Amino acid sequence: MNSTDVRRNFLEFFQERDHTFVQGSSLVPHDDPTLLFTNAGMVPFKDVFIGNAARDYVRATSCQRCVRAGGKHNDLEEVGYTARHLTLFEMLGNFSFGDYFKEDAIKWAWELSTERFGLDPERLYVSVFRDDDEAFEIWKSLGLPDAKIYRFGEKDNFWTMGDTGPCGPCSELFYDLGEEAGTSSEDVMGGEGDRYLEFYNLVFMQYESRADGTRIPLPRPSIDTGMGLERTAAILQGKLTNFDTDLFLPLIEEVRRATSQTQFDEQGQKIARQVISDHARTATFLIADGVLPSNLGRGYVLRRIMRRAIRYSYQLGIRKPFLHTLVPLV
C-alpha cells in the first residue's frame, strides 16, 4: 500500500466512526511558548484537552507533520543510524475530547490494524502502563494472549508532551519485523533494536502537568493517539526501514546519483543518504512554515539540521550546493 493510501485509509476509517477531519497545523506551535516545534498530533488540541478551549466536535482525526529535534522529544542524533528515527514525520491521529475512552480506542486500533490494514495478528504485540489492568483486560478480550501484552513503566508507557501539558498512561502497538530486522539482545519487546517496531500509540489522557510540578486530573478523560505514517508505510510495503518506503526512495536515489569520491564505506554511505534525505524533508517543511536558519531557538535547530545534512553531503564527495536540489522531490 503506498503512503498516500495509508494516510487516506486511516483518516477515512475514523471519519466513518464520526470523527471530524481536522487539517494538520504549522510546525510552529500557535501561541505556545513551552514548545519549540509541533511534536505530536495532539499539540493543536492541547487547550481542548485541558479544558481551556472548546470545539464543536468531540472526536477528531488528523494527519500532523511533527518535528522531533530540539526540546523534550529529540531524535536528531539517532537519525540515519536506525531504521525508525526521523526528525520529521507525519502522525496520523484519532482523538476523543471527553467522549470515548480506553475501550473504543483499543478496539478501533485493533480493527484498523488487523482488518483495514490487514496486519497479521500473529506479528502484533502491545504494551500497557504497569498497573493499567483495565487496558490489559481490553487487549485480552480482543484475543491477545497474556504473553503478548507487556507491562512497562513511566519511561515507555506514560506519555507527556513536555514539562507541562496534558499527559497520561499509554498503550502501544508493535509489529514484529522478524529476525531480518535484528537479532541483538536489544531486538526484544522494550529493547532499543529495530525488530519490534512501535507504530501506534494510544494515550489515555487523564492529567495535566503544571509548571509547579504538580499533576491534576483533566476535566474529562480523553484519547490522544498517534500512528507513524512512515513506519506504517514500511510495514505495509514489506520494508524494514522508513528509508525503503515510497516516501524516501526518490530522495535516497537522488543522493546516490550525486555521490562521487567518498571515503565512506558502503554502510557509511547508506547512513549519509538517510541523514541527508531526512534532513532535506525537515528543512523544507520548517522553511515552508516560516522558520529560517539563525543563531537562536527554532532557527538554530534548523541551522544544525541543515549543517548536518551539508556535512554528510560533503563527505559523500559532493562539492556543489546540493541540499536545495532535493526540495522539489520533498
**Angle at the Cα of 80 (from 76 to 311), degrees rounded to 5?**
80
> DSSP 3-state helix, strand, coil percentages of the chain (rounded to 5)?
40, 20, 40
Residue 196 binds to ligand SER (criterion: CB under 6 A)? no
- The torsion angle over the Cα atoms of residues 205, 209, 210 and 214, rounded to 10 degrees, is 120
Find the DSSP H helices in 180-227. Answer: none
Site for ligand SER in 225-254 (CB under 6 A): 225-226
Closest CA to 206 of 197, 216, 196, 198: 216
Residue 169 binds to ligand SER (criterion: CB under 6 A)? no
- Nearest residue relative to ligand SER (C-beta): 226
277's grid cell:
534525505
Site for ligand SER in 77-106 (CB under 6 A): 91, 93
263: which DSSP letter? -
Task: Provide the 3-class DSSP secondary structure of residue 153.
Answer: coil
Q: What are phi and psi of 228, to 5 degrees?
A: -75, 120
# of chain residues touching ligand SER (CB under 6 A): 11
225 in Cβ contact with 219 (< 8 Å): no
Q: Residue 68 CB, nearest distance to ligand SER (Å)?
A: 9
Binding segment (CB under 6 A) for ligand SER, from list 40-48, 54-62, 173-181, 271-279? 40-48
Q: Residue 320 CB, nearest distance to ligand SER (Å)?
A: 38
60/203 with CB nearer ligand SER: 203
- List 45, 97, 129, 159, residue binding ligand SER (CB under 6 A): 159
233/280 with CB nearer ligand SER: 233
232: Cβ contacts below 8 Å, ≥ 6 apart: 6, 10, 92, 117, 199, 200
171/277 with CB nearer ligand SER: 171
Q: Residue 269 CB, nearest distance to ligand SER (Å)?
A: 32
Pairing of strands 215-228, 88-96: antiparallel
Using N-to-C axis directions, what is the helix angle for 249-258 and 266-288, rounded to 10°? 120
91/316 with CB nearer ligand SER: 91
Residue 42 binds to ligand SER (criterion: CB under 6 A)? yes
Residue 201 binds to ligand SER (criterion: CB under 6 A)? yes
Find the DSSP H helices in the chain. Answer: 3-15, 46-49, 102-111, 133-141, 154-157, 229-236, 249-258, 266-288, 297-315
Residue 13 binds to ligand SER (criterion: CB under 6 A)? no
Scored b (16 or more CB within 10 A) or e, 163-192 reads ebbbbbbbbbbbbbbeeebbeeeebebbee
Q: Residue 228 CB, nearest distance to ligand SER (Å)?
A: 9
223/309 with CB nearer ligand SER: 223
Residue 41 binds to ligand SER (criterion: CB under 6 A)? yes
Binding segment (CB under 6 A) for ligand SER, from list 54-62, 141-149, 219-227, 254-262? 219-227
Q: Residue 306 CB, nearest distance to ligand SER (Å)?
A: 25
Residue 224 binds to ligand SER (criterion: CB under 6 A)? yes
Residue 38 binds to ligand SER (criterion: CB under 6 A)? no
AA identity, residue 181: A
Q: Residue 127 CB, nearest distance to ligand SER (Å)?
A: 12
Instruction: Catalog residues that contact ligand SER under the rule CB under 6 A.
Output: 40-42, 91, 93, 159, 201, 203, 224-226
